[in-house]
Structure 1
């Protein structure tokens, strides 16, 4: 059974990548991608493993089927979510970002999870509103304002976690975690880059990154 090829195919499809796009990111031909997936080529060369894992947004161990939980069972995309370090740099969640781990979904209410959701945790010594060190953040990709709530947004090439509410004038009111009802600032939607909504937050004291 071609487990590696099947894993590559599933990760590619779950990431919404065509063979041609994956090939471009890895630096190979789309024929090579087909050969990997159908088992014609049974091993991926060491020099290609890192760019392949990066393009598929998983660890090399996960790609090779070596990630295991406490019970010894392999993590798969259906049983875990990628966990990324949250830093002020937008590169932290860019297409070339690599997860630091895969977090078992058994710790999270599956009813909360949707396709392409991912997890974040702030990296010390950085500080993000609403997310003290040790917070586990559920992020859901979005490209625009989608109702009042918490968002991961970018302004002036810096990532921020903010509560954003829209008023009757269609102006976005941006709040930090100071507890005041007065917004830190007001902005039109085109002054912010929206990366994700944040449906849920959890303290993650059992993990130390």
Structure 2
């Protein structure tokens, strides 16, 4: 019986991921995902286990053995949001990024949460506008501008949080915390990389974990 492949398939479907999307997050081809699920490839390489478990929102032990997580329940990670440390390095949200914790989804209004959302908290080195140390940011993956609001963007190999608004001429105005009325920069968007939208920010001290 192909227990690992069946487990991967069920977790993928529970997360609402296509084979192509899961492949992108793990860094393999969608054919490899199919081979894992149908048992043609019976083992997942060690370097792929962590990103696969992260994408499927489960622990590696559950992925490999289907045992119950110590946090309670075999699907405990499916009911939690991963928390990643945010630094100025683009590697902080790269494919090899590792969460420092998982928080139950119930600690915030579930109406705010969408599939594949995650949490970020600022770390040294680096200063981030709108979200000083001690705050939590709800992050939602995006690769382009998708409406006015806060975004995690990359420019000149540096991560930053900025408010981005689109003008009538389609130019993107980028605002920092100190420039709430006059934009720091105006661009068509080709000079920056969008990593995530930030729909909500909270002081960590007010969260009930």
Task: Give the shorter-chain TM-score range.
Answer: 0.7 to 0.9
Q: Which residue of 1 aligns with 2:61?
A: 64
- Give the C-alpha shift of residue 16 in structure 1: 3.7
TM-score by length of 2: 0.75
Deviation at 1:87, TM superposition (A): 1.3
Q: TM-score, normalised by structure 1?
A: 0.75
Matches within 5 A, 1:99-178: 99-178=99-178
Q: Secondary structure at the match of 1:57?
A: helix
Aligned to 2:50: 53
Please list the CA deviations of residues 20-74 of structure 1 after superposition, one character each: whole Å capped at 9, or x if unmatched. Answer: 9489749xx668723779xx96xx68xx4453122342699822146544xx455
Residue matched to 1:190:
190
Deviations along 1:86-113, one digit per CA (max 9) or x if unpaired, are 1112222122222222211110111111
Give the superposition deviation at 1:114: 0.8
RMSD in angstroms over aligned alpha carbons?
3.6
Judging changes above 3 Å, is the alpha-carbon distance between structure 1 residues 20 and 136 closer, same or farther for their aligned structure 2 residues? Answer: closer
* Of 79-88 and 175-184, the range deviating more from structure 2: 175-184
Any gaps of 5 or more consecutive residues in structure 1?
A: none
Q: How many residues align?
A: 198
The equivalent residue for 1:34 is: 37
More displaced 10-residue stretch of structure 1: 81-90 or 59-68: 59-68
Q: Note if contact 2:153-2:196 (Cα within 8 Å) is conserved in structure 1.
A: yes
